[in-house]
Amino acid sequence: MKFQIPIGPQHPALKEPISLRMTVEGEIIRDADLRLGYNHRGLEKLAEQKTWIQNIYLTERICGICSHSHTTCYVQGVEKLMEIEPPKRGQYIRYLVSELERVHSHLLWLGVAGHEAGFDSFFMYTWRDREIVMDILETISGNRVHYGINTIGGVRRDLDEQQVKHILDSLAILRERSEYYQHLGTNEPSFVARLAGVGYLSREDAIALCAVGPTVRASGVPMDVRKDDPYGIYGEVPFEVCTADTCDVLGRTVVRIKELFQCYNIIEYLLKNLPSGPVAVRAPRRAKPNEVVSRYEAPRGENIHYIKSNGTDKPERLKVRAPTLGNYAATIKMLKNGFIADVPLIFAAIDPCICCAERAVALVDARSGQERIISMNALKKLSRQVSAGNARKREAEWPL
């Protein structure tokens, strides 16, 4: 007996509103199918009508959580096309903002994971501390989310002594809090029990399905563009690629917590070794006809921009491959043979985005053709009921 469950097109754990059709047999998901296009705005076409500079602000608005990732990826590519090199100080500030963005994104994700697992106080804690990062970003760039700090040939704002001190002070608080979360996670058996073994993705599958970011790293593959193909200043910054080999949602949580600490180290290194000098160079208005592929490790994985110029002040083509797209195939794999109740968690694990609160799931009874609409909250309640039956591990193992 098989059912079809459409989820979406609005779902909080997905970046774009997306529709998902799942075939289930009882509680077990047998097949899943994705439908895209609800959030399609025609951005790539729009980019062809705007100048190189205007497009920075357009690419920033591809995604609100990794806005800096998209602009940096785009700007790196355009700089290559225009054959200019941003000054060292500009680069340091650019990648400083990148790492701060990674911190804010991972804290956000931890909160979402806590929320989906039914651990709402964790959600409130991490989002409270996320405000510290938002404050730092606001002092650097003047805005909380879309920083608008990149420009072709460098960055638009400089850092002063006071800001550096403010960042270092806040970093100490963040470090302390993150240690607390790590501790909380390790000693919270119900949290660990809820995450362990959910959304299994083996190492082979992760590679075959081209998963990216923390998803692939949690399957034991040390893949990180910052290490594999260092761009910008990453060649000279010491950091480690964090992996886990549990291949499940727990592993993805571990990878992200570990990455938080790496981010703090990188930020500290960048601030302590901040070179002096200008932050930007003048960029030409036109780029010679050429094409370029730019890679960037966004908080969620590898981000790729393909840019083609034709000698004018506008790009001829801009193609964006966001990391979430790379993870869709793997998500379907993870969903297969899982429980319906785990769907929110598995979604949340590939891509942390709690963008919309209204969510409905329609259960279609294949025999009678009847549709039942249940809200995502009811689904979550169901998920808690399922997990309540699980045996609690007293001394839960946390592979940190």
Partner 1 sequence: MLTKLTHWSRLKSPWILHLNTGACNACDIEVVAALTPRFDVERFGILLKATPRHADVIVCTGPATRQMKDRLIRIYEQTPDPKFVIAVGACAMSGCVYRGAYNVLGGIDQVIPVDVYVPGCPVRPDAVIDGVVKLLNKLKG
- Binding-site residue numbers for Ni(2+) are 63, 66, 353
Indicate which single residue of 2, 45, 61, 144 sits in contact with ligand SF4 (rule: CB under 6 A). 61
Interface pick for partner 1 out of 3, 92, 95, 127 (rule CB under 8 A): 127
Measured from the CB atom, the residue of 89 and 300 that comes closer to partner 1 is 300
What x-and-dash track marks residues 63-102 binding ligand SF4 by CB under 6 A?
A: -x--------------------------------------
Among partner 1, ligand SF4, none, partner that 25 touches (CB below 5 to 8 angstroms by kind):
none
Report the residue number, 109 or 200, with the smaller CB distance to partner 1: 109
Residue whose C-beta lies closest to ligand SF4: 61
Among the candidate windows 78-86, 121-129, 191-199, 291-299, which touches partner 1 by CB under 8 A? 121-129
Instruction: List the binding residues.
Output: 44, 63, 66, 320, 353, 356
Q: Which does 232 bind (CB under 5 to 8 A by kind): ligand SF4, partner 1, none?
A: none
DSSP code of 342? G
* 101 secondary structure, DSSP code: H
Smallest distance, Å, CB 61 to ligand SF4?
4
CB of 123 to ligand SF4, least distance (A): 22
Residue 278 to residue 91: CA distance in whole angstroms: 10
Rounded to whole angstroms, the Cα distance separating 231 from 220 reads 23
**Phi then psi for 240, rounded to 5 degrees?**
-115, 150
**Which 255-274 positions form the footprint of ligand SF4 (CB under 6 A)?**
none
Residue 58 binds which entry of ligand SF4, partner 1, none, with Cβ cut-offs from 5 to 8 Å by kind? partner 1
Cα 130 to the center of its chain, rounded Å? 15
Among partner 1, ligand SF4, none, partner that 124 touches (CB below 5 to 8 angstroms by kind): partner 1
- Closest CB to ligand SF4 among residues 144, 372: 144
Cα 127–143–10 angle (5° rounding)?
Answer: 55
Question: Binding pattern to ligand SF4, positions 134-173, x when CB under 6 A?
Answer: ------------x---------------------------
Least Cβ distance, residue 203 to partner 1 (angstroms): 31
Give, as ranges, the residues between 354 and 383 that touch partner 1 (CB under 8 A).
354-360, 375-377
- Bridge partners for 32 per DSSP: 22
CA distance 319 to 305: 6
Binding mask 24-63 for partner 1 (x = CB under 8 A): -------------xxxxxxx-xx--x-------xx--xxx
Burial class (CB in 10 A: 0-12, 13-18, 19+), 49: exposed
| Binding partner at 337 among partner 1, ligand SF4, none, C-beta below 5 to 8 Å by kind | none
DSSP classification of residue 48 = T
Q: How far is the CB of 63 from ligand SF4 (least distance, A)?
A: 9
List of long-range contacts for 261-264, beta carbons under 8 Å, 24+ apart: 261/175, 261/178, 263/99, 263/100, 263/102, 263/103, 263/106, 264/103, 264/171, 264/174, 264/175, 264/178
Identity of residue 45: K
Beta bridge partners of 3: 24
In the chain, alpha helices (H): 43-47, 52-60, 67-82, 88-116, 120-141, 161-186, 189-195, 203-208, 214-217, 225-228, 249-272, 323-335, 343-350, 376-388
CB of 36 to partner 1, least distance (A): 10
Q: Is 10 a binder of partner 1 (CB under 8 A)?
A: yes
Phi, psi of 20 (to 5 degrees): -130, 130
Residue 58 near residue 42, CB atoms below 8 Å: no
Whether 18 and 114 have beta carbons less than 8 Å apart is answered as: no
Binding residues (CB under 8 A) for partner 1: these are 9-10, 15, 17, 37-43, 45-46, 49, 57-58, 61-65, 67, 108, 123-124, 127-128, 130-131, 134, 144-146, 353-360, 375-377
